Chain A
Amino acid sequence: MLIKELSDLPGVSGDEKKVRDYIREQLEQEKIEHFTDSMGNLYAVKKGRKNSGREHQIMLTAHMDEVGLMLASVEKSGHLRFYTVGGINEWSLVSRPVIIGRDEVPGVIGAKAVHLQKPEERRKALQVDQLYIDIGARSKEDAEKKVKVGDYVSFDVQAGSMAQGRMISGKALDNRAGCAALLELLQKEYEQGFTAVFTVQEEVGLRGARVAAYRVNPEIALVLETTTASDLPELKEKDFATTMGKGPAFTIRDGSVVSHPRVLERLIQTAEEQNRPYQFRQYAGSFTDAGIISQSRAGVKAGVISTPCRYIHTSASLLDKKDWEHLVEIAAGFVGSVHEKGLE
């Protein structure tokens, strides 16, 4: 399945090549016109039945990048120190396998064994500077045969099905689930086309979407995202940012954007007409590409639709396939509806 294959690829912000190449291959198979820019954004122009030349009016985006690590130094012993890239969940780093660099050199994230820690050490969370990657090298020189400072590091995880096939678990579901949805949307037929952008560097400050929005110059933008689900036993319902299994989440506002009311209304209307479940994202913080896109040039009417996902920014996030399927259909319906009726 597309989500699983996409989520297994390494694509830390700034190093999205493998994801981009994979998506480009899909676009070539589908014979969809595509191009890239200097930052690595991948654009696809979906033509409609009417060759209107208005494909830029609606822009759909999904970011390709994931949070990860970057090698900062190689110790004398051959252990590797690292920086975090984007808001990776620091609680979930220790004791995980990783792959390093384009050659995907395997390693593990270690820390001092619990037996060797003093009780007060054990009570604290591990800080990134207490961790390191071990590739089995015997020395600095030995390690440098395989890796170098600046190499990107991503979790080494294979996505899988859970809950008897109803769920998918894996790393980078944020936002390969969005990428997979966008690819799915590109395979459908529309009256008038749209422009799809697979963006880079979302996790380090919405940097790819900035230039993409400028370039495409859309009137309307819909961002396909994966957002935190916190329907968890430690929390009260008011703290559930989203709930898994209750359909895709529409953003009213987050830390970067207030969704355009017409976009939001049309999403709701589409979901209602299709008789599909949806929910509103209850958490008002965090950011998405919609934040920067909405402020592009003289302004863009932007909204966000997300697949709820537990444990994002860890090596084991979890989403409900049904939520994702509804997201695809509602987004497709939204595009069709805008073609048909405009947005006013």
Chain B
Amino acid sequence: MGLRSLLKEITQKDGVSGFEQELAKTISQHFASLVDDTRTDNLGNLIMLKKGSKGFPRVILCAHMDEIGLIVTKMEKGGFLRFTSLGGFDVRTLPGQKVTVYGRETFEGIIGFNPPHLQTSQERNKSPQMDTLFIDTGLPEEEVEKSIPIGSVAAIQRSFLDLMHQTSAGKAFDDRAGVAVLWQCAGELNKLVHEADVYLVATVQEEVGVRGAVVSAYGLSPDLGVAVDVCHGSIPGAKEHEASELGKGPVVTAGPNIHPGIAERLAAVAKDYHLPCQRDVSPGPTGTDARAIQVSMEGIPTGLLSIPLRYMHTSVELVDLDDVKLSGRLLAYFTAGLDQTMVEELSCL
């Protein structure tokens, strides 16, 4: 299986924050031949171990598998379902969006809203409010009541799209593209000798507060960690410093959330292997698993590698697959170079 097929398959599955169980099974199947051991922890983090020649250091490489989604809060007369969000949506992307509702069975739904002819021009010019929207399954009220209890989760529907060159668009690329990086990395590591025990972790509940990373970092107590996530790709209207270029390689982040030694090492490895690499800056705790890993227990040296992605938190997130592939390679070369000396250097600043 190639990288594109993998990303396609894992982004066609739903895995809303807190409800990643089925998705984890699919991901674990795709990693099975690449790793030595697989387990899940109490919160559902998928932990896959690739043993190293020395078993030291112990490194955790994380990418979150969960996606933002919706959860049903109330049924209105007529069978329309009110909802709130799991994770941060741009509400303007929701009207007219199709969803899969996980009730006692699965149902399709459309996120409904008032027709324009019944809106005032003031309403039309404002962003829609989530509490005026609803999911319409087309089912009669009695059937909705029976089949879709409050608390049912709904996931955004979107097919995987191939665009020009190596770009693709779809939903949940944030952060299944990161999971694809881990997959690529595992494949590369199979061709390399590495001393470190490498824990590849597909984390849960990142979008609702990096909770999977909190417990997996504690549970594994690694010597160091790297989170793999997405960062903003350049688009019209975004400032240059806010966004990275698509197709120009992985992005290494610097900032207080990142151990400078790891950031430097990632950049140095990219240079040594002639891989393109970009830099960005995060002036505080990042909105990634790195946020939690760094402050786990007595502190874990943490890095962040990102894939430039356009239209984050929409159903048409867009990446360049070359960036994903190169990120996987960079991460593998970085990991293969880890040894006791490196860990000692990182342990005090």
Q: Which A residues are closer than 8 A to B by beta carbons?
A: 75, 77, 79, 87, 89-92, 94-97, 106-117, 122-126, 130, 132, 134-138, 142-143, 146, 156, 158, 160, 162-164, 166-167, 169, 228, 230-235, 239, 241, 244, 283, 285-286, 310-312, 314-316, 318, 320
Q: Which B residues are closer than 8 A to A by beta carbons?
A: 76-78, 80, 88-90, 92-93, 95-98, 107-110, 112-118, 124-128, 132, 134, 136-139, 158-159, 161-165, 167, 169, 232, 234-239, 242-243, 247, 287, 310-316, 318, 320
Q: Contact check, B96 vs A316: say whether CB atoms are below 8 A apart.
A: yes
Residue in A110, A136, A160, A233 whose beta carbon sits within 8 Å of that of B77 in the complex: A233
Q: A130 CA to B314 CA in the complex, in Å?
A: 15
**Residues of the A chain whose Cβ atoms lie less than 8 Å from the Cβ of B132:** 234
Residue in B78, B95, B137 whose beta carbon sits within 8 Å of that of A231 in the complex: B78
Known: A130-B237, A162-B108. A113 touches B92 (CB 8 A): no
Q: Which residue of A lies closest to B80 (CB)?
A: A233
Q: Contact check, A285 vs B117: say whether CB atoms are below 8 A apart.
A: yes
**Residues of the B chain whose Cβ atoms lie less than 8 Å from the Cβ of A162:** 107-110, 137-138
Known: A232-B114, A233-B76, A314-B95. A132 touches B236 (CB 8 A): yes
Q: Contact check, B139 vs A163: say whether CB atoms are below 8 A apart.
A: yes
Q: Contact check, A286 vs B114: say whether CB atoms are below 8 A apart.
A: no
Residue in B78, B92, B110, B117 whose beta carbon sits within 8 Å of that of A91 in the complex: B92
Residue in A89, A110, A124, A167 whose beta carbon sits within 8 Å of that of B314 in the complex: A110
**Residues of the A chain whose Cβ atoms lie less than 8 Å from the Cβ of B165:** 136, 138
Q: Which residue of A lies closest to B167 (CB)?
A: A136
**Residues of the B chain whose Cβ atoms lie less than 8 Å from the Cβ of A137:** 164
Point out which of A109, A114, A142 has the most chain B C-beta atoms below 10 A from its C-beta. A114
Q: A285 CA to B139 CA in the complex, in Å?
A: 29
Q: Contact check, A115 vs B161: say whether CB atoms are below 8 A apart.
A: no
Known: A89-B116, A125-B124, A136-B167. A110 touches B138 (CB 8 A): no
Q: A282 CA to B162 CA in the complex, in Å?
A: 44
Q: Contact check, A95 vs B108: say whether CB atoms are below 8 A apart.
A: no
Q: Contact check, B110 vs A108: say whether CB atoms are below 8 A apart.
A: no
The minimal Cβ–Cβ distance linking B252 to chain A, given in whole angstroms, is 20
Q: Contact check, B163 vs A110: say whether CB atoms are below 8 A apart.
A: no
Q: Contact check, B95 vs A318: say whether CB atoms are below 8 A apart.
A: no
Q: Contact check, B96 vs A97: say whether CB atoms are below 8 A apart.
A: no
Q: A320 CA to B139 CA in the complex, in Å?
A: 10
**Residues of the A chain whose Cβ atoms lie less than 8 Å from the Cβ of B311:** 95, 108, 110-111, 113, 134
Q: A158 CA to B243 CA in the complex, in Å?
A: 33
The minimal Cβ–Cβ distance linking B86 to chain A, given in whole angstroms, is 15
- If A95-B311, A106-B163, A228-B115 are given as contacts, then 10 extra A-B residue pairs at C-beta distance below 8 Å, sorted by A number, are A89-B95, A91-B92, A97-B158, A113-B314, A130-B237, A231-B78, A233-B77, A233-B80, A241-B115, A286-B117
The minimal Cβ–Cβ distance linking A267 to chain B, given in whole angstroms, is 24
- 22 examples of A-B residue contacts, CB within 8 angstroms: A77-B236, A94-B92, A94-B314, A95-B311, A106-B162, A110-B310, A110-B316, A114-B312, A116-B243, A124-B125, A124-B126, A130-B237, A136-B165, A136-B169, A136-B320, A163-B139, A169-B110, A169-B138, A232-B114, A233-B77, A235-B114, A316-B97
